[in-house]
Amino acid sequence: MCDPGPSSLPEDGRHSVAIVGAGLAGLSAASRLRLRHGIHATLFEAQSRPGGRVFSRQLQHCGHEFVIDLGATWWHGTHGNAAYELVFENALRRDAPRKEEESDRWNEGDRALLFSTSAIVVDFNSHVRTSRIHPRLSLSVARAYDRAIEALSDVDSHPLKTGDNDRSMRDTLERSVNYDALPDFERCVFQTLDKLECCWNGCSNSTRDMSTHRSSQYITLPGDNVRPQRTGMTVVVDKLLSSLQPAQILYNKSVTSVHWQHEQGPHLHFSDGSLRKARAVLWTPSLNVTKQAVKQQLFRPQLPQFKLKHLEQRGQGVVEKVFVLLETHLLDFVSDAAVPIIWLPAPPPATLSCAAWCKGAFAILYSAEKRLVSFWLNGDPALELSQLSEKQALEQVSSFLSLVCDQKVSVTSVIRSNWCCNPFVLGSYSYPRLGCSLESVDRLADPLPSLEKPVLCFAGEGTHPHFYSTVHGAIESGYREADRIAAFLTRTPDVGPTATDTPRRQEKALTSDT
Protein backbone atom coordinates (compact mmCIF):
# COMPACT_ATOMS: atom_id res chain seq x y z
CA MET A 1 0.00 0.00 0.00
CA CYS A 2 1.13 3.54 -0.73
CA ASP A 3 2.29 5.20 2.48
CA PRO A 4 2.49 8.99 2.19
CA GLY A 5 4.10 9.29 5.61
CA PRO A 6 2.86 9.84 9.12
CA SER A 7 2.80 13.63 8.94
CA SER A 8 0.27 13.66 6.12
CA LEU A 9 -2.37 11.25 7.42
CA PRO A 10 -4.89 11.82 10.19
CA GLU A 11 -4.60 9.24 12.97
CA ASP A 12 -8.01 7.67 12.42
CA GLY A 13 -8.16 8.19 8.64
CA ARG A 14 -11.92 8.84 8.87
CA HIS A 15 -11.93 11.78 6.53
CA SER A 16 -9.21 10.77 4.06
CA VAL A 17 -9.81 12.12 0.55
CA ALA A 18 -7.83 11.06 -2.51
CA ILE A 19 -7.42 13.73 -5.19
CA VAL A 20 -6.22 12.62 -8.63
CA GLY A 21 -4.15 15.43 -10.13
CA ALA A 22 -2.27 18.35 -8.57
CA GLY A 23 -3.37 20.97 -11.05
CA LEU A 24 -5.27 24.06 -9.95
CA ALA A 25 -8.52 22.19 -9.35
CA GLY A 26 -6.84 19.56 -7.18
CA LEU A 27 -4.70 22.05 -5.28
CA SER A 28 -7.60 24.40 -4.58
CA ALA A 29 -9.77 21.49 -3.39
CA ALA A 30 -7.06 20.23 -1.03
CA SER A 31 -6.45 23.76 0.26
CA ARG A 32 -10.16 24.35 0.87
CA LEU A 33 -10.60 21.00 2.63
CA ARG A 34 -7.68 21.68 4.93
CA LEU A 35 -8.22 25.36 5.73
CA ARG A 36 -12.00 25.60 5.83
CA HIS A 37 -13.10 22.10 6.80
CA GLY A 38 -10.13 20.60 8.63
CA ILE A 39 -10.22 17.56 6.35
CA HIS A 40 -7.10 15.80 5.12
CA ALA A 41 -6.59 15.15 1.41
CA THR A 42 -3.72 13.47 -0.42
CA LEU A 43 -3.01 14.50 -4.00
CA PHE A 44 -1.69 11.94 -6.49
CA GLU A 45 0.08 13.65 -9.38
CA ALA A 46 1.23 11.66 -12.43
CA GLN A 47 3.89 14.21 -13.36
CA SER A 48 6.95 15.31 -11.39
CA ARG A 49 5.63 18.83 -10.69
CA PRO A 50 2.39 20.50 -9.54
CA GLY A 51 0.31 22.99 -11.50
CA GLY A 52 -1.09 20.94 -14.37
CA ARG A 53 -1.59 23.24 -17.36
CA VAL A 54 0.06 26.13 -15.51
CA PHE A 55 3.77 26.12 -16.23
CA SER A 56 6.03 29.20 -16.14
CA ARG A 57 9.69 29.16 -17.20
CA GLN A 58 12.43 31.61 -16.26
CA LEU A 59 14.66 32.51 -19.22
CA GLN A 60 17.87 34.47 -19.67
CA HIS A 61 18.62 35.99 -23.07
CA CYS A 62 20.44 39.11 -24.27
CA GLY A 63 21.26 40.08 -20.70
CA HIS A 64 17.61 40.00 -19.65
CA GLU A 65 15.78 37.69 -17.27
CA PHE A 66 12.10 37.15 -17.98
CA VAL A 67 9.29 34.64 -17.53
CA ILE A 68 7.27 32.89 -20.21
CA ASP A 69 4.04 30.98 -19.60
CA LEU A 70 3.78 27.78 -21.59
CA GLY A 71 0.31 27.12 -20.21
CA ALA A 72 -2.34 29.44 -18.79
CA THR A 73 -1.26 33.04 -19.35
CA TRP A 74 -4.08 35.45 -18.45
CA TRP A 75 -6.39 36.36 -15.63
CA HIS A 76 -9.62 36.83 -17.60
CA GLY A 77 -11.24 39.70 -15.71
CA THR A 78 -10.05 40.88 -12.31
CA HIS A 79 -13.32 41.49 -10.43
CA GLY A 80 -14.63 38.35 -8.78
CA ASN A 81 -11.77 36.30 -10.23
CA ALA A 82 -10.86 33.57 -7.73
CA ALA A 83 -7.30 33.22 -9.04
CA TYR A 84 -6.58 36.95 -9.09
CA GLU A 85 -8.04 37.47 -5.64
CA LEU A 86 -6.13 34.48 -4.29
CA VAL A 87 -2.81 36.04 -5.30
CA PHE A 88 -3.65 39.52 -4.06
CA GLU A 89 -5.22 38.38 -0.80
CA ASN A 90 -2.13 39.70 0.96
CA ALA A 91 -0.77 42.74 -0.88
CA LEU A 92 2.39 42.67 1.29
CA ARG A 93 3.60 39.37 -0.14
CA ARG A 94 6.90 40.10 -1.85
CA ASP A 95 6.64 37.21 -4.26
CA ALA A 96 3.19 38.27 -5.48
CA PRO A 97 2.97 40.76 -8.35
CA ARG A 98 1.44 44.05 -7.25
CA LYS A 99 -1.62 45.32 -9.07
CA GLU A 100 0.08 48.48 -10.28
CA GLU A 101 2.94 46.42 -11.74
CA GLU A 102 0.80 44.21 -13.94
CA SER A 103 1.20 44.59 -17.68
CA ASP A 104 0.01 43.18 -20.98
CA ARG A 105 -3.60 44.19 -20.45
CA TRP A 106 -6.06 43.83 -23.27
CA ASN A 107 -9.78 43.89 -23.97
CA GLU A 108 -10.99 40.59 -25.38
CA GLY A 109 -13.66 42.34 -27.40
CA ASP A 110 -11.21 44.41 -29.46
CA ARG A 111 -10.10 41.94 -32.12
CA ALA A 112 -9.83 44.83 -34.56
CA LEU A 113 -6.90 46.13 -32.50
CA LEU A 114 -4.89 43.25 -33.94
CA PHE A 115 -4.84 45.26 -37.17
CA SER A 116 -4.14 48.64 -35.56
CA THR A 117 -0.52 48.90 -36.70
CA SER A 118 0.20 46.79 -39.77
CA ALA A 119 -0.34 43.31 -41.15
CA ILE A 120 1.83 40.81 -43.00
CA VAL A 121 0.47 39.49 -46.28
CA VAL A 122 1.97 36.30 -47.70
CA ASP A 123 1.23 35.82 -51.42
CA PHE A 124 3.08 32.97 -53.11
CA ASN A 125 1.89 34.19 -56.52
CA SER A 126 3.73 37.45 -55.99
CA HIS A 127 7.37 38.07 -56.76
CA VAL A 128 7.68 39.89 -53.43
CA ARG A 129 5.79 37.12 -51.58
CA THR A 130 5.71 38.98 -48.26
CA SER A 131 4.53 42.57 -47.84
CA ARG A 132 3.09 44.93 -45.24
CA ILE A 133 -0.28 46.62 -45.59
CA HIS A 134 -1.97 49.59 -44.01
CA PRO A 135 -4.49 48.51 -41.35
CA ARG A 136 -7.43 50.22 -43.06
CA LEU A 137 -7.40 47.48 -45.72
CA SER A 138 -8.38 44.89 -43.12
CA LEU A 139 -10.05 46.89 -40.34
CA SER A 140 -13.54 46.82 -41.83
CA VAL A 141 -13.96 43.04 -41.75
CA ALA A 142 -12.21 42.86 -38.36
CA ARG A 143 -14.71 45.34 -36.92
CA ALA A 144 -17.59 43.41 -38.45
CA TYR A 145 -16.20 40.24 -36.88
CA ASP A 146 -16.05 42.00 -33.50
CA ARG A 147 -19.68 43.10 -33.82
CA ALA A 148 -20.73 39.55 -34.69
CA ILE A 149 -18.96 38.14 -31.61
CA GLU A 150 -20.56 40.82 -29.45
CA ALA A 151 -24.01 39.95 -30.83
CA LEU A 152 -23.46 36.31 -29.89
CA SER A 153 -22.88 37.40 -26.29
CA ASP A 154 -26.15 39.36 -26.22
CA VAL A 155 -28.56 37.04 -24.44
CA ASP A 156 -31.58 38.91 -25.82
CA SER A 157 -30.60 38.33 -29.45
CA HIS A 158 -28.83 35.01 -28.99
CA PRO A 159 -30.11 32.25 -31.31
CA LEU A 160 -31.10 30.12 -28.31
CA LYS A 161 -33.45 32.89 -27.22
CA THR A 162 -34.98 33.33 -30.66
CA GLY A 163 -35.83 29.68 -31.15
CA ASP A 164 -33.03 28.83 -33.60
CA ASN A 165 -31.34 25.46 -33.34
CA ASP A 166 -27.73 25.28 -32.28
CA ARG A 167 -25.27 25.98 -35.07
CA SER A 168 -21.53 26.34 -35.26
CA MET A 169 -19.85 29.59 -34.33
CA ARG A 170 -18.19 29.68 -37.75
CA ASP A 171 -21.51 29.43 -39.61
CA THR A 172 -23.03 32.10 -37.39
CA LEU A 173 -20.10 34.47 -37.91
CA GLU A 174 -20.11 33.93 -41.66
CA ARG A 175 -23.78 34.85 -41.82
CA SER A 176 -23.20 37.91 -39.66
CA VAL A 177 -20.44 39.36 -41.85
CA ASN A 178 -22.02 38.17 -45.14
CA TYR A 179 -18.95 36.07 -45.85
CA ASP A 180 -20.06 34.90 -49.33
CA ALA A 181 -20.18 38.51 -50.53
CA LEU A 182 -16.74 39.44 -49.18
CA PRO A 183 -13.86 40.07 -51.63
CA ASP A 184 -11.16 37.39 -51.65
CA PHE A 185 -8.73 39.44 -49.58
CA GLU A 186 -11.28 40.13 -46.84
CA ARG A 187 -12.11 36.43 -46.70
CA CYS A 188 -8.45 35.80 -45.95
CA VAL A 189 -8.65 38.39 -43.16
CA PHE A 190 -11.66 36.49 -41.83
CA GLN A 191 -9.58 33.28 -41.85
CA THR A 192 -6.92 35.01 -39.75
CA LEU A 193 -9.54 36.07 -37.23
CA ASP A 194 -11.01 32.57 -37.17
CA LYS A 195 -7.60 31.11 -36.25
CA LEU A 196 -7.32 33.70 -33.47
CA GLU A 197 -10.78 32.77 -32.18
CA CYS A 198 -9.87 29.08 -32.20
CA CYS A 199 -6.83 29.72 -30.02
CA TRP A 200 -8.75 31.93 -27.61
CA ASN A 201 -11.53 29.38 -27.26
CA GLY A 202 -9.51 26.16 -27.39
CA CYS A 203 -11.09 24.79 -30.58
CA SER A 204 -9.23 22.19 -32.60
CA ASN A 205 -9.16 23.23 -36.27
CA SER A 206 -12.05 25.58 -36.82
CA THR A 207 -14.87 27.34 -35.03
CA ARG A 208 -17.11 25.04 -37.10
CA ASP A 209 -16.73 22.54 -34.27
CA MET A 210 -17.68 25.09 -31.64
CA SER A 211 -21.26 25.59 -30.51
CA THR A 212 -22.85 29.02 -30.29
CA HIS A 213 -24.05 27.80 -26.90
CA ARG A 214 -20.70 29.02 -25.58
CA SER A 215 -21.86 32.60 -25.71
CA SER A 216 -24.94 31.85 -23.64
CA GLN A 217 -23.04 29.77 -21.06
CA TYR A 218 -19.74 31.55 -20.57
CA ILE A 219 -19.65 34.51 -18.20
CA THR A 220 -17.06 37.23 -18.78
CA LEU A 221 -15.88 38.79 -15.54
CA PRO A 222 -15.54 42.58 -15.37
CA GLY A 223 -12.10 44.15 -15.35
CA ASP A 224 -9.04 43.83 -17.54
CA ASN A 225 -7.50 40.65 -18.87
CA VAL A 226 -4.13 40.69 -17.11
CA ARG A 227 -0.93 38.68 -17.39
CA PRO A 228 1.35 38.45 -14.32
CA GLN A 229 4.45 39.35 -16.30
CA ARG A 230 7.06 39.37 -13.52
CA THR A 231 6.17 36.06 -11.91
CA GLY A 232 4.20 34.15 -14.51
CA MET A 233 0.98 32.28 -13.72
CA THR A 234 2.92 29.91 -11.46
CA VAL A 235 2.35 32.50 -8.71
CA VAL A 236 -1.16 31.02 -8.38
CA VAL A 237 0.27 27.52 -7.93
CA ASP A 238 2.75 28.77 -5.33
CA LYS A 239 -0.03 30.47 -3.38
CA LEU A 240 -2.06 27.26 -3.19
CA LEU A 241 1.00 25.16 -2.31
CA SER A 242 1.75 27.46 0.62
CA SER A 243 -1.48 26.33 2.28
CA LEU A 244 -0.63 22.62 2.07
CA GLN A 245 1.86 20.30 3.73
CA PRO A 246 4.53 19.04 1.31
CA ALA A 247 3.74 15.43 2.20
CA GLN A 248 0.18 15.89 0.97
CA ILE A 249 1.33 15.66 -2.66
CA LEU A 250 2.78 12.45 -4.09
CA TYR A 251 4.44 12.84 -7.50
CA ASN A 252 4.92 10.37 -10.36
CA LYS A 253 1.78 8.52 -9.20
CA SER A 254 -0.14 7.51 -12.32
CA VAL A 255 -3.57 6.01 -11.67
CA THR A 256 -4.38 2.78 -13.50
CA SER A 257 -7.85 2.12 -12.07
CA VAL A 258 -10.49 3.71 -9.88
CA HIS A 259 -12.83 1.24 -8.17
CA TRP A 260 -15.44 3.73 -7.06
CA GLN A 261 -18.16 1.26 -5.96
CA HIS A 262 -15.98 -1.04 -3.89
CA GLU A 263 -17.81 -2.39 -0.85
CA GLN A 264 -15.05 -1.06 1.42
CA GLY A 265 -15.02 2.37 -0.17
CA PRO A 266 -13.25 3.65 -3.30
CA HIS A 267 -9.87 2.12 -4.17
CA LEU A 268 -7.16 3.65 -6.36
CA HIS A 269 -4.55 1.50 -8.11
CA PHE A 270 -1.32 2.99 -9.45
CA SER A 271 1.20 2.08 -12.14
CA ASP A 272 3.83 1.31 -9.49
CA GLY A 273 1.60 -1.43 -8.11
CA SER A 274 0.50 0.47 -5.01
CA LEU A 275 -3.05 0.83 -3.70
CA ARG A 276 -4.83 3.61 -1.84
CA LYS A 277 -8.20 3.50 -0.11
CA ALA A 278 -10.21 6.62 0.69
CA ARG A 279 -13.67 7.70 1.72
CA ALA A 280 -14.01 9.94 -1.32
CA VAL A 281 -12.13 10.43 -4.59
CA LEU A 282 -11.87 13.69 -6.53
CA TRP A 283 -10.96 13.25 -10.22
CA THR A 284 -9.41 16.42 -11.74
CA PRO A 285 -7.56 15.45 -14.97
CA SER A 286 -8.41 17.18 -18.26
CA LEU A 287 -11.36 16.21 -20.45
CA ASN A 288 -9.18 14.41 -23.01
CA VAL A 289 -7.42 12.43 -20.28
CA THR A 290 -10.82 11.54 -18.84
CA LYS A 291 -12.04 10.39 -22.27
CA GLN A 292 -8.93 8.26 -22.64
CA ALA A 293 -9.50 6.80 -19.18
CA VAL A 294 -13.00 5.81 -20.28
CA LYS A 295 -11.65 4.04 -23.38
CA GLN A 296 -9.08 2.22 -21.26
CA GLN A 297 -11.81 1.23 -18.77
CA LEU A 298 -9.94 2.88 -15.93
CA PHE A 299 -13.20 3.55 -14.06
CA ARG A 300 -14.65 0.40 -12.54
CA PRO A 301 -17.49 0.12 -13.02
CA GLN A 302 -17.59 2.24 -16.15
CA LEU A 303 -19.06 5.72 -15.82
CA PRO A 304 -22.84 5.78 -16.39
CA GLN A 305 -24.23 6.64 -19.81
CA PHE A 306 -25.40 10.13 -18.89
CA LYS A 307 -21.85 11.02 -17.87
CA LEU A 308 -20.36 9.61 -21.08
CA LYS A 309 -22.93 11.44 -23.19
CA HIS A 310 -22.18 14.84 -21.71
CA LEU A 311 -18.44 14.17 -21.72
CA GLU A 312 -18.54 13.69 -25.50
CA GLN A 313 -20.41 16.97 -25.94
CA ARG A 314 -17.40 18.84 -24.62
CA GLY A 315 -14.20 19.32 -26.57
CA GLN A 316 -10.63 20.00 -25.50
CA GLY A 317 -8.63 21.78 -28.15
CA VAL A 318 -5.00 21.72 -29.19
CA VAL A 319 -3.14 25.02 -28.79
CA GLU A 320 0.63 25.23 -29.21
CA LYS A 321 2.47 28.22 -27.76
CA VAL A 322 5.85 28.82 -29.39
CA PHE A 323 8.64 31.05 -28.08
CA VAL A 324 11.66 31.73 -30.29
CA LEU A 325 14.98 33.19 -29.10
CA LEU A 326 16.80 35.05 -31.90
CA GLU A 327 20.52 35.50 -32.52
CA THR A 328 20.07 39.03 -33.88
CA HIS A 329 17.40 41.72 -33.90
CA LEU A 330 14.70 41.84 -36.56
CA LEU A 331 15.14 44.81 -38.89
CA ASP A 332 12.37 47.35 -39.38
CA PHE A 333 9.86 45.35 -37.38
CA VAL A 334 7.37 46.69 -34.85
CA SER A 335 8.12 45.62 -31.28
CA ASP A 336 5.73 44.69 -28.45
CA ALA A 337 2.66 44.57 -30.68
CA ALA A 338 1.00 41.55 -32.28
CA VAL A 339 1.29 41.71 -36.07
CA PRO A 340 -1.35 39.63 -37.90
CA ILE A 341 -0.45 37.33 -40.79
CA ILE A 342 -2.83 37.12 -43.76
CA TRP A 343 -2.23 34.10 -45.98
CA LEU A 344 -3.50 34.39 -49.54
CA PRO A 345 -4.75 31.06 -50.92
CA ALA A 346 -1.98 30.24 -53.44
CA PRO A 347 0.18 27.22 -52.45
CA PRO A 348 3.93 27.75 -51.91
CA PRO A 349 6.23 26.88 -54.82
CA ALA A 350 8.24 23.67 -54.62
CA THR A 351 11.46 25.68 -54.36
CA LEU A 352 10.35 27.38 -51.14
CA SER A 353 10.73 25.72 -47.76
CA CYS A 354 7.37 26.31 -46.04
CA ALA A 355 6.02 23.57 -43.79
CA ALA A 356 2.27 23.00 -43.78
CA TRP A 357 1.97 24.15 -40.15
CA CYS A 358 3.18 27.65 -41.05
CA LYS A 359 -0.20 28.67 -42.48
CA GLY A 360 -1.72 28.02 -39.06
CA ALA A 361 0.09 31.06 -37.63
CA PHE A 362 -2.23 34.06 -37.47
CA ALA A 363 0.11 36.61 -35.81
CA ILE A 364 3.58 37.04 -34.36
CA LEU A 365 4.71 39.11 -31.39
CA TYR A 366 8.26 40.46 -31.31
CA SER A 367 10.11 41.85 -28.30
CA ALA A 368 13.18 43.77 -29.48
CA GLU A 369 14.47 44.12 -25.92
CA LYS A 370 14.47 40.35 -25.32
CA ARG A 371 15.09 39.31 -28.96
CA LEU A 372 12.07 37.05 -28.52
CA VAL A 373 9.35 36.11 -31.02
CA SER A 374 6.22 34.26 -29.97
CA PHE A 375 3.24 32.87 -31.84
CA TRP A 376 0.36 30.42 -31.30
CA LEU A 377 -1.00 27.58 -33.38
CA ASN A 378 -4.08 25.42 -32.98
CA GLY A 379 -5.43 22.15 -34.34
CA ASP A 380 -3.49 20.17 -36.95
CA PRO A 381 -0.73 22.81 -37.39
CA ALA A 382 -0.12 22.69 -33.63
CA LEU A 383 0.08 18.89 -33.70
CA GLU A 384 2.48 18.95 -36.65
CA LEU A 385 4.92 21.39 -35.03
CA SER A 386 4.76 19.71 -31.61
CA GLN A 387 5.80 16.36 -33.10
CA LEU A 388 9.00 17.66 -34.73
CA SER A 389 12.44 16.97 -33.30
CA GLU A 390 14.36 19.88 -31.79
CA LYS A 391 16.53 20.15 -34.91
CA GLN A 392 13.54 20.05 -37.27
CA ALA A 393 11.68 22.66 -35.22
CA LEU A 394 14.71 24.95 -35.26
CA GLU A 395 15.06 24.71 -39.04
CA GLN A 396 11.37 25.06 -39.86
CA VAL A 397 10.70 27.92 -37.44
CA SER A 398 13.73 29.77 -38.83
CA SER A 399 12.38 29.35 -42.39
CA PHE A 400 8.91 30.45 -41.29
CA LEU A 401 10.16 33.63 -39.61
CA SER A 402 12.46 34.42 -42.54
CA LEU A 403 9.43 34.24 -44.83
CA VAL A 404 6.96 36.31 -42.84
CA CYS A 405 9.53 38.85 -41.64
CA ASP A 406 11.00 39.14 -45.16
CA GLN A 407 14.60 38.83 -43.92
CA LYS A 408 17.07 36.16 -42.90
CA VAL A 409 16.25 35.14 -39.33
CA SER A 410 18.74 33.14 -37.25
CA VAL A 411 17.18 31.22 -34.38
CA THR A 412 18.97 30.24 -31.17
CA SER A 413 16.24 28.19 -29.52
CA VAL A 414 12.60 27.15 -30.04
CA ILE A 415 10.52 26.48 -26.92
CA ARG A 416 7.18 24.70 -27.46
CA SER A 417 4.39 24.05 -24.98
CA ASN A 418 3.70 20.53 -26.37
CA TRP A 419 0.57 20.01 -24.24
CA CYS A 420 -0.98 17.77 -26.87
CA CYS A 421 1.98 15.37 -26.63
CA ASN A 422 1.87 15.20 -22.85
CA PRO A 423 0.00 11.96 -21.98
CA PHE A 424 -1.23 13.47 -18.72
CA VAL A 425 -2.76 16.56 -20.41
CA LEU A 426 -3.53 15.75 -24.10
CA GLY A 427 -4.56 19.24 -25.15
CA SER A 428 -5.22 22.78 -24.05
CA TYR A 429 -8.59 23.83 -22.62
CA SER A 430 -12.25 22.97 -23.04
CA TYR A 431 -15.07 24.29 -25.19
CA PRO A 432 -18.68 23.27 -26.02
CA ARG A 433 -18.79 21.24 -29.22
CA LEU A 434 -21.47 21.69 -31.85
CA GLY A 435 -24.68 20.04 -30.68
CA CYS A 436 -23.90 20.22 -26.97
CA SER A 437 -26.77 20.80 -24.60
CA LEU A 438 -26.90 23.64 -22.10
CA GLU A 439 -26.82 21.14 -19.25
CA SER A 440 -23.72 19.27 -20.44
CA VAL A 441 -21.15 21.10 -18.27
CA ASP A 442 -23.46 21.08 -15.27
CA ARG A 443 -23.96 17.34 -15.57
CA LEU A 444 -20.22 16.71 -15.98
CA ALA A 445 -19.82 17.92 -12.40
CA ASP A 446 -22.39 15.46 -11.03
CA PRO A 447 -20.80 13.13 -8.45
CA LEU A 448 -21.27 9.38 -8.44
CA PRO A 449 -23.21 7.42 -7.48
CA SER A 450 -25.49 10.35 -6.54
CA LEU A 451 -25.66 13.85 -5.15
CA GLU A 452 -26.51 12.37 -1.75
CA LYS A 453 -23.48 10.07 -1.79
CA PRO A 454 -20.63 11.82 -3.63
CA VAL A 455 -18.00 9.09 -3.51
CA LEU A 456 -16.47 9.91 -6.92
CA CYS A 457 -16.42 13.65 -7.66
CA PHE A 458 -15.24 15.62 -10.68
CA ALA A 459 -13.46 18.99 -10.88
CA GLY A 460 -11.42 20.94 -13.42
CA GLU A 461 -12.03 23.92 -15.69
CA GLY A 462 -14.05 21.73 -18.05
CA THR A 463 -16.62 21.05 -15.30
CA HIS A 464 -17.39 24.70 -14.52
CA PRO A 465 -20.67 25.81 -16.17
CA HIS A 466 -19.65 29.44 -16.69
CA PHE A 467 -15.86 29.80 -16.31
CA TYR A 468 -14.61 26.79 -18.29
CA SER A 469 -11.25 27.17 -20.07
CA THR A 470 -9.99 29.56 -17.36
CA VAL A 471 -7.70 29.47 -14.34
CA HIS A 472 -10.41 30.83 -12.06
CA GLY A 473 -12.86 28.22 -13.38
CA ALA A 474 -10.47 25.43 -12.35
CA ILE A 475 -10.01 26.92 -8.89
CA GLU A 476 -13.73 27.45 -8.30
CA SER A 477 -14.48 23.88 -9.38
CA GLY A 478 -12.02 22.68 -6.73
CA TYR A 479 -13.72 24.81 -4.09
CA ARG A 480 -17.12 23.47 -5.18
CA GLU A 481 -16.14 19.83 -4.84
CA ALA A 482 -14.29 20.40 -1.56
CA ASP A 483 -17.46 21.82 -0.03
CA ARG A 484 -19.49 18.94 -1.46
CA ILE A 485 -17.12 16.30 -0.08
CA ALA A 486 -16.92 18.02 3.30
CA ALA A 487 -20.70 18.09 3.61
CA PHE A 488 -20.82 14.37 2.83
CA LEU A 489 -17.98 13.28 5.13
CA THR A 490 -18.97 15.38 8.12
CA ARG A 491 -22.71 14.87 7.64
CA THR A 492 -23.34 18.59 8.15
CA PRO A 493 -26.80 19.36 6.75
CA ASP A 494 -26.32 23.13 6.66
CA VAL A 495 -23.40 23.01 4.20
CA GLY A 496 -25.30 23.65 0.97
CA PRO A 497 -24.27 24.47 -2.57
CA THR A 498 -21.50 27.05 -2.91
CA ALA A 499 -21.81 30.23 -4.91
CA THR A 500 -20.39 28.47 -7.97
CA ASP A 501 -22.97 25.66 -7.94
CA THR A 502 -25.89 25.92 -10.30
CA PRO A 503 -29.45 25.25 -9.05
CA ARG A 504 -30.42 21.63 -9.66
CA ARG A 505 -32.71 19.05 -8.16
CA GLN A 506 -30.71 17.92 -5.17
CA GLU A 507 -32.90 15.01 -4.16
CA LYS A 508 -32.65 12.89 -7.31
CA ALA A 509 -29.92 10.29 -7.75
CA LEU A 510 -28.13 10.95 -11.03
CA THR A 511 -27.30 7.49 -12.24
CA SER A 512 -29.70 7.89 -15.17
CA ASP A 513 -30.11 10.60 -17.76
CA THR A 514 -32.97 13.06 -17.24
Residue by residue, what is the 3-state secondary structure of 175-201? HHHCHHHCCHHHHHHHHHHHHHHHHHH
Total number of domains in the chain: 2
Helix (H) or strand (E) holding 473: helix 471-490
Predicted confidence (pLDDT) at residue 109 exceeds the cutoff of 90:
no
Q: Quick one: what percent of the chain has pLDDT higher than 90?
A: 56
**Which letter does DSSP use for residue 355 in this model?**
-
307 plus 230 within the same structural domain: yes
- The pLDDT score that the predictor gives to residue 509 is 36
In a domain, 495, yes or no: no
309 plus 432 within the same structural domain: yes
25 plus 171 within the same structural domain: no
| Higher pLDDT, residue 104 or 283 | 283
Full domain range(s) for residue 23: 15-52+224-316+425-490
146 plus 24 within the same structural domain: no
Rounded-to-integer distance, Cα 94 and Cα 101, Å? 12
207 plus 234 within the same structural domain: no
285 plus 247 within the same structural domain: yes
**113 pLDDT band (50/70/90 cuts)?**
low
Predicted confidence (pLDDT) at residue 324 exceeds the cutoff of 70:
yes
Name the least confident of 281-285, 309-313, 344-348.
Answer: 344-348
**102 pLDDT band (50/70/90 cuts)?**
very low
In a domain, 507, yes or no: no
Contact 125, 344 (CB under 8 A): yes
pLDDT digits (tens, 9 = 90+) for 54-71: 999 999 998 889 999 999
Q: What is the CATH number of the domain that holds 276?
A: 3.50.50.60
- The pLDDT score that the predictor gives to residue 462 is 93
In a domain, 233, yes or no: yes
**157 pLDDT band (50/70/90 cuts)?**
very low
In a domain, 66, yes or no: no
In a domain, 444, yes or no: yes
467 plus 442 within the same structural domain: yes
- The pLDDT score that the predictor gives to residue 223 is 87
**201 pLDDT band (50/70/90 cuts)?**
confident
| Higher pLDDT, residue 5 or 218 | 218
Predicted confidence (pLDDT) at residue 505 exceeds the cutoff of 60:
no
pLDDT digits (tens, 9 = 90+) for 213-225: 655 578 889 988 8
**154 pLDDT band (50/70/90 cuts)?**
low
Q: Would you tell me how many other CB atoms lie within 10 Å of the CB of residue 467?
A: 27
Tell me the average pLDDT across 13-35. 90
The two most distant CA atoms of the chain are separated, in Å, by 77
Domain boundary among 216, 233, 248: 216
- The pLDDT score that the predictor gives to residue 510 is 34
Rounded-to-integer distance, Cα 457 and Cα 319, Å? 27
Q: Would you tell me how many other CB atoms lie within 10 Å of the CB of residue 154?
A: 11
Contact 380, 206 (CB under 8 A): no
In a domain, 70, yes or no: no
195 plus 276 within the same structural domain: no
Rounded-to-integer distance, Cα 331 and Cα 408, Å? 10
183 plus 259 within the same structural domain: no
Rounded-to-integer distance, Cα 385 and Cα 421, Å? 11
In a domain, 310, yes or no: yes
What's the 3-state SS for 288-345? HHHHHHHHCCCEECCCCHHHHHHHHCEEECCEEEEEEEECCCCCCCCCCCEEEEEECC
Tell me the average pLDDT across 21-43. 97
Q: β-pairing, 314-316 with 363-367?
A: unpaired
178 plus 312 within the same structural domain: no
pLDDT digits (tens, 9 = 90+) for 429-479: 998 888 887 677 778 899 999 999 999 999 999 999 899 999 999 999 999
Tell me the average pLDDT across 421-426. 96
Mean pLDDT for all residues in the chain? 84
209 plus 249 within the same structural domain: no
In a domain, 311, yes or no: yes
243 plus 192 within the same structural domain: no
Q: Which residue, among 274, 370, 380, has the nearest Cα to 320 in the 3D structure?
A: 380
Predicted confidence (pLDDT) at residue 233 exceeds the cutoff of 70:
yes
Which residues lie below 8 Å from residue 196, measured CB to CB, with a gap of 6+? 111, 114, 362, 363
**130 pLDDT band (50/70/90 cuts)?**
confident
Contact 373, 310 (CB under 8 A): no
